[in-house]
Amino acid sequence: MIMRRASFLIIVVALALLPVLWPDPYLLSVVAAAGIMIIAAISLNLLLGFTGQLSLGHAAFFGIGAYTSALLSLGFDVDLGFSSPLVVEPKPVWVAFAGGIVMASLFGWLLGKVAFRVRGAYFVIVTISFAQVMRMVALNWVDLTEGPMALVSIPPLSLWVPGDGVVRLVSKAATYWLVLAAGVLAYVIVANLVRSRIGRAAIALRENEVLAKSIGIPVTRCLIVFSVLSAGIAGAAGGLYAHTVRIIDPDVFLFIYTITMVIMVVAGGKGTLAGPVVGGLIFGLLPEVLRGMVAPEVQWMIYGALMILILLFMPKGIVPAFGRVLKRRKISVRRRPSASQGASS
């Protein structure tokens, strides 16, 4: 446990030093964008990896967090059919950001109450339908969301710095550190949740739902708790996206974003803490690495071929595969001294 924590701290410090050692704005922008998707993948891993529930509408929570945070920070007025329109004045960006997380968590709770009454393909269909409904709302409720015209001029997040006052986090380095801090926080929250009592109950549910019910595990309540936390983390990723890109449109609900999250989780290793991070770094940075080397069509061919190779040779993901390799090496190292002692005697 101590070695794991030390390794985790070393990796975090190394990542934090990236803007100092390699202050290229384009590189930092690309890594920050990949980091936002990694946070979203971490949230999906809570459902897919630790409860075994495949949600193909996870982009909905990402989009809800983005739109809620953006609208609260910009302010809005909308006619709901009552005597007077609903008017919301612009809120401080961190209040708006927290509002996005709360709203995404609320929708996670609502979807969980409905969707977890079914399992398998039916659950997948419900989640896909939910994401499509959210996209159509964002596209057609023009008075609120501006529809395809997009929400623009979204204020960036800011911090109070002693001596400098309120500093807007607009530089590439500041954005990178912000995303890194959010990613580390999300990772720690998930790690503590998985190792808690309810986390162990969720893993038991993933392995055998009937047996989990028979020993008294409240299956639906456990799934709803994971759904709320998963949606909240995805909403936080959406809020980061809104305040760093500073323009959002209904495309944030597109199915491709959910598929990207699924690829990151499955390729890295679902049900592992580091899996979404490793998968996110590979499949988040790979398109940018290939951008100047091959044509766009070839990029997607390489992308797909790599995914197929990982699934063929590492069916449980990259992290579990390397974990098995390290375990075998440790066993072989332990056997060598005993073998040499037997030969000498």
Q: Where are the beta strands (DSSP E) in the chain?
A: 76-78, 86-88, 151-152, 158-161, 165-168, 247-248
Eight-class DSSP state of 148: G
- Dihedral angle at the C-alpha atoms of 23, 28, 31, 32, nearest 10 degrees? 130
The answer to whether 79 touches 275, Cβ cutoff 8 Å, is no
Strand partners, 151: 248
Strand partners, 77: 87
Q: Which residues contact 250 (CB under 8 A, 6 or more apart)?
A: 63, 135, 138, 139, 145, 147, 148
- CA distance to 96, 158, 220, per residue, from 139 (Å): 21, 29, 33
Please write the tens of the pLDDT for every residue from 171-228: 999 999 999 999 999 999 999 999 888 888 888 888 888 888 888 888 888 889 999 9
- The CATH T-level fold of domain 2-344 is ABC transporter involved in vitamin B12 uptake, BtuC (1.10.3470)
On the question of pLDDT at 118 being above 70, the answer is yes
Please tell me the least confidently modeled range out of 88-102, 176-190, 224-238, 326-340: 326-340
pLDDT band at 2; cut points 50, 70, 90: confident
- DSSP readout, 59-104? HHHHHHHHHHHHHHHH-EEE--SSSS-EEEPPPPHHHHHHHHHHHH
On the question of pLDDT at 20 being above 60, the answer is yes
Q: How many residues does the chain have?
A: 345
The answer to whether 169 touches 178, Cβ cutoff 8 Å, is yes
Instruction: Summarize the chain as % helix, strand, coil (round to 5).
Output: 75, 5, 20
On the question of pLDDT at 337 being above 80, the answer is no
What is the CA angle 107-192-310, rounded to 5? 80
pLDDT band at 339; cut points 50, 70, 90: low
* Strand-strand pairing, 86-88 and 76-78: antiparallel
The rounded distance, in Å, linking the Cα atoms of 116 and 202 is: 14
- Mean of the per-residue pLDDT values of the chain: 88
The rounded distance, in Å, linking the Cα atoms of 115 and 125 is: 9
The Cβ-side half-sphere exposure at 209, using a 13 Å CA radius, reads 13
On the question of pLDDT at 285 being above 90, the answer is no
- Domain residues of the chain, as ranges? 2-344
On the question of pLDDT at 122 being above 90, the answer is no
pLDDT band at 300; cut points 50, 70, 90: confident
